[in-house]
């Protein structure tokens, strides 16, 4: 082993020790999610006939193809039951691996802990090597456990393995992308951000590439998430395509090591510019604004693009009305407008869950500020805890509201461009605004946990994942309604198309207010965490 890799084994053990709860929990969560979906679909579509019509309906609906991809074998139970999870799950696995990779590379470096280790017998490349072995290893473990989950649900072994490997490929590819972004920026948040942008871009590419009926086009083949789908588990099981993410990861890892060899510790390839000698920030609110505005702007741009894309796809729903059996089905549901409304409402549900993640991250910034030792400096001045926390928390609430307003406008504009009139614009903006209170509940929950047990702030992400799964898949899995009611997202009014939404909105807002009050009380009473 070359000197630059000395100590990799020790670092790997350290990384496993640090992630001994988090990583297994996520990996098991993914495997369980896949298994549940398979079981539920088997109950929902007991015969081939029902599966084929469901699969045809999905394949004929561009907005669903853009969101989830195609069902490549309408007769296959596996292909149908995992349609929602193939691309979406691959993106989530990608996000997880980006976070894990950065956590063990750039985050350690900018926290100064690598410096501490670098003085021991740890080679320059060892931290990167350990992080890559950890992400690749957990990707493979994820593949095997997911396959086992699917087999337990009664699906064929070969297809289950293909599905698991497809997910693992995405995990490895985005872990390797994060290994590169970790070399580019000096801050870990920026490195994570770049990695997540890569995941979003890959998802968008495959959405565009999957649209033509003739089959996947070039954009799909440029996207690691597209590769995962094209393995086509339970519909051909093209194992050879797993080579694509492996080759891609190998290339990215080589680039990462090459970049690492060309830079100093603590340096990035994107160099730091000097700042002003005199500052203009003069309040704790100004500081919050300065620290968070860049992230909010990126989110706003992403949400607007995503919203316009989704809005412009919805009119295609009427294309499904071509088949006579579908026409009966839709008539029963309330006609074409009701179907368009239902699709738009489903899109707002997804955007609402995504924006809730912004709320959690923005409110969670309080914890980052505290553990980094920045809060101590601010709180030693005249700034009270209340004012300090209100800056970050208020920004999180305001950011959520702004993003949902933009989402409503973007979907409305996309829809208007598509159908040629702005009749629905106002209604769609309202639909966006109606998703705010549920996202606020998650934002306020973050503050509540931070107020009482700052070390557990990260657990809110786990709850968030449960809430999203409950609203997206809970009904599909036939879960009892009391369990579904736990998720705040379930109570968001399904606009456009439904009236009488004020009561749940009021209730969600009241819960958010209660959690906020709880959080402030805790924060006023507890010790500040030592660095």
Partner 1 sequence: MSAVTVADGSSDLVVDARGVVKSFGRTRALAGLDLQVERGEVHGFLGPNGAGKTTMLRILLGLLRIDGGTVRLLGGDPWRDVRSLHPRLAYVPGDVSLWPNLSGGEVIDLLGRLQGGHDPARRDRYLELFDLDPRKKSRAYSRGNRQKVALVSALATDADLYILDEPTAGLDPLKESDFRTCVRELRDEGRTILLSSHILSEAEALSDRVSIIRDGKVVEAGRLAQLRHLTRTSVTAEMATVPQDLDRIDGVHDLAVENHRVSAQVEPHGMDPLMQALSASGIVNLTCQPPTLEELFLRHYGPAAGQSDDA
SS3 277: coil
When asked if residue 385 is in the footprint of partner 1 (CB under 8 A), the reply is yes
SS3 270: coil
Q: Least Å distance between CB 385 and partner 1?
A: 8
Q: Least Å distance between CB 292 and partner 1?
A: 12
Q: Least Å distance between CB 102 and partner 1?
A: 15
Only one of the segments 381-389, 391-399, 403-411, 449-457 lies at the binding site for partner 1 (rule: CB under 8 A); that segment is: 381-389
Only one of the segments 58-66, 79-87, 160-168, 268-276 lies at the binding site for partner 1 (rule: CB under 8 A); that segment is: 268-276
Q: For residues 238-267, which are near partner 1 according to CB under 8 A?
A: 266
When asked if residue 384 is in the footprint of partner 1 (CB under 8 A), the reply is yes
When asked if residue 374 is in the footprint of partner 1 (CB under 8 A), the reply is yes
CA distance 167 to 161: 10
232 sits in the region (left: phi over 0; alpha: psi -120 to 50; else beta) called left
Residue 166's CB is within 10 A of a number of other CB atoms, namely 32
Only one of the segments 85-93, 237-245, 252-260, 272-280 lies at the binding site for partner 1 (rule: CB under 8 A); that segment is: 272-280
When asked if residue 383 is in the footprint of partner 1 (CB under 8 A), the reply is yes
Q: Are 55 and 71 spatial neighbours (Cβ–Cβ below 8 Å)?
A: yes
Interface pick for partner 1 out of 24, 29, 118, 187 (rule CB under 8 A): 187
CA distance 530 to 146: 40
Only one of the segments 81-89, 171-179, 279-287, 486-494 lies at the binding site for partner 1 (rule: CB under 8 A); that segment is: 279-287
When asked if residue 475 is in the footprint of partner 1 (CB under 8 A), the reply is no
When asked if residue 376 is in the footprint of partner 1 (CB under 8 A), the reply is yes
From 95, 39, 45, 110, select the one nearest 74 (Cα to Cα): 45
CA distance 325 to 486: 36
Structure tokens at 386: 């209340």
Structure tokens at 407: 């989402």
How many residues belong to the site for partner 1 (CB under 8 A)?
Answer: 40
**Identity of the residue, 193 or 226, whose beta carbon is nearer to partner 1 in the bound complex:** 193
Q: Least Å distance between CB 381 and partner 1?
A: 4
The tally of CA atoms less than 13 A away on the side-chain side of residue 505 is 14
When asked if residue 194 is in the footprint of partner 1 (CB under 8 A), the reply is no
Structure tokens at 145: 């456990």
Only one of the segments 117-125, 175-183, 315-323, 368-376 lies at the binding site for partner 1 (rule: CB under 8 A); that segment is: 368-376
**Identity of the residue, 17 or 273, whose beta carbon is nearer to partner 1 in the bound complex:** 273
Q: CA of 268: how far to CAs of 107, 115, 130, 276, 370, in Å?
A: 13, 15, 20, 21, 25
When asked if residue 382 is in the footprint of partner 1 (CB under 8 A), the reply is yes
Q: Least Å distance between CB 260 and partner 1?
A: 18
When asked if residue 183 is in the footprint of partner 1 (CB under 8 A), the reply is no
Q: Least Å distance between CB 485 and partner 1?
A: 37
CA distance 185 to 192: 10
**Identity of the residue, 47 or 527, whose beta carbon is nearer to partner 1 in the bound complex:** 527
Q: CA of 262: how far to CAs of 3, 6, 14, 47, 184, in Å?
A: 16, 18, 26, 59, 11
When asked if residue 276 is in the footprint of partner 1 (CB under 8 A), the reply is yes
**Identity of the residue, 284 or 446, whose beta carbon is nearer to partner 1 in the bound complex:** 284
Q: Least Å distance between CB 72 and partner 1?
A: 46
| Nearest-10 crossing angle of helices 335-371, 385-419 | 150
User: DSSP per residue over 314-359, as a string?
Assistant: GGGGGGGGGSHHHHHHHHHHTHHHHHHHHHHHHHHHHHHHHHHHHH
Q: Least Å distance between CB 22 and partner 1?
A: 22
Q: For residues 290-349, which are near partner 1 according to CB under 8 A?
A: 290-291
User: DSSP per residue over 15-79, as a string?
Assistant: HHHHTTTHHHHHHHHHHHHHHHHHHHHHHH--SHHHHHHHHHHHHT-HHHHHHH---S-TT-HHH
Q: For residues 95-114, which are near partner 1 according to CB under 8 A?
A: 110
Q: Least Å distance between CB 458 and partner 1?
A: 20
**Identity of the residue, 282 or 481, whose beta carbon is nearer to partner 1 in the bound complex:** 282
Interface pick for partner 1 out of 278, 322, 482, 499 (rule CB under 8 A): 278
**Identity of the residue, 285 or 329, whose beta carbon is nearer to partner 1 in the bound complex:** 285
Only one of the segments 85-93, 280-288, 424-432, 501-509 lies at the binding site for partner 1 (rule: CB under 8 A); that segment is: 280-288
Q: Are 173 and 249 spatial neighbours (Cβ–Cβ below 8 Å)?
A: yes
From 398, 440, 390, select the one nearest 285 (Cα to Cα): 390
Residues that bind partner 1 (CB under 8 A): 110, 186-187, 266, 272-284, 286-287, 290-291, 372-374, 376-385, 525-528, 530-531
């Amino acid at each position: 082993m070359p000197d630059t890799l000395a100590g990799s084994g020790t670092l790997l053990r350290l990384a496993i020790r640090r992630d001994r709860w988090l990583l297994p929990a996520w990996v098991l969560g993914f495997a369980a999610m896949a298994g549940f979906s398979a079981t539920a679909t088997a109950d929902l579509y007991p015969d081939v006939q029902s599966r084929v019509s469901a699969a045809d309906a999905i394949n004929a609906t561009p907005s669903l193809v853009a969101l989830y991809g195609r069902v490549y074998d309408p007769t296959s139970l596996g292909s149908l039951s995992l349609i929602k999870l193939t691309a979406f799950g691959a993106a989530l696995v990608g996000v997880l691996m980006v976070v894990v990779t950065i956590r063990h590379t750039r985050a350690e470096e900018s926290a100064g802990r690598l410096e501490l280790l670098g003085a021991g017998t740890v080679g320059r490349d060892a931290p990167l090597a350990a992080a890559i072995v950890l992400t690749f290893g957990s990707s493979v473990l994820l593949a095997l456990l997911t396959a086992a989950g699917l087999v337990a649900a009664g699906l064929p072994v070969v297809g289950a393995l293909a599905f698991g490997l497809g997910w693992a490929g995405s995990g490895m590819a985005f872990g390797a992308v994060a290994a590169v972004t970790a070399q580019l920026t000096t801050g870990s948040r920026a490195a994570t951000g770049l990695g997540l942008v890569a995941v979003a871009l890959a998802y968008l590419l495959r959405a565009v590439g999957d649209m033509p009926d003739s089959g996947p086009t070039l954009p799909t083949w440029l996207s690691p998430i597209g590769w995962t789908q094209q393995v086509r588990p339970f519909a051909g099981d093209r194992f050879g395509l797993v080579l694509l993410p492996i080759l891609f990861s190998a290339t990215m890892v080589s680039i990462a090591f090459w970049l690492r060899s060309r830079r100093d510790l603590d340096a990035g390839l994107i160099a730091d510019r000097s700042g002003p000698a005199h500052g203009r920030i003069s309040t704790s609110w100004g500081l919050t604004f300065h620290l968070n505005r860049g992230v909010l702007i990126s989110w706003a741009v992403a949400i607007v693009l995503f919203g316009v894309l989704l809005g412009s796809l919805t009119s295609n729903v009427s294309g499904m009305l071509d088949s006579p059996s579908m026409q009966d089905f839709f008539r029963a549901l309330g006609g074409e407008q009701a179907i368009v409304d239902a699709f738009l409402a489903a899109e707002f549900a997804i955007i609402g869950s995504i924006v809730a993640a912004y709320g959690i991250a923005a409110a969670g910034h309080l914890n980052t500020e505290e553990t980094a030792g920045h809060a101590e400096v601010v709180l030693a001045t005249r700034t009270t805890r209340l004012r300090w926390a209100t800056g970050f928390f208020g920004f999180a609430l305001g950011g959520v509201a702004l993003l949902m307003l933009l989402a409503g406008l973007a979907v409305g504009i996309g829809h208007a461009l598509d159908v040629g009139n702005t009749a629905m614009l106002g209604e769609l903006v309202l639909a966006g605004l109606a998703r705010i209170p549920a996202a606020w509940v998650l934002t306020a929950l973050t503050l509540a946990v931070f107020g009482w047990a700052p070390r557990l702030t990260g657990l809110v992400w786990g709850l968030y994942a449960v809430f999203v799964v409950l609203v997206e898949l809970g009904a599909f899995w036939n879960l009892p309604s009391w369990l579904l009611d736990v998720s705040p997202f379930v109570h968001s009014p399904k606009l456009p198309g439904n009236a009488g939404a004020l009561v749940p909105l009021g209730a969600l807002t009241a819960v958010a207010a209660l959690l906020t009050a709880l959080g402030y009380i805790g924060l006023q009473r507890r010790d500040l965490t030592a660095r």
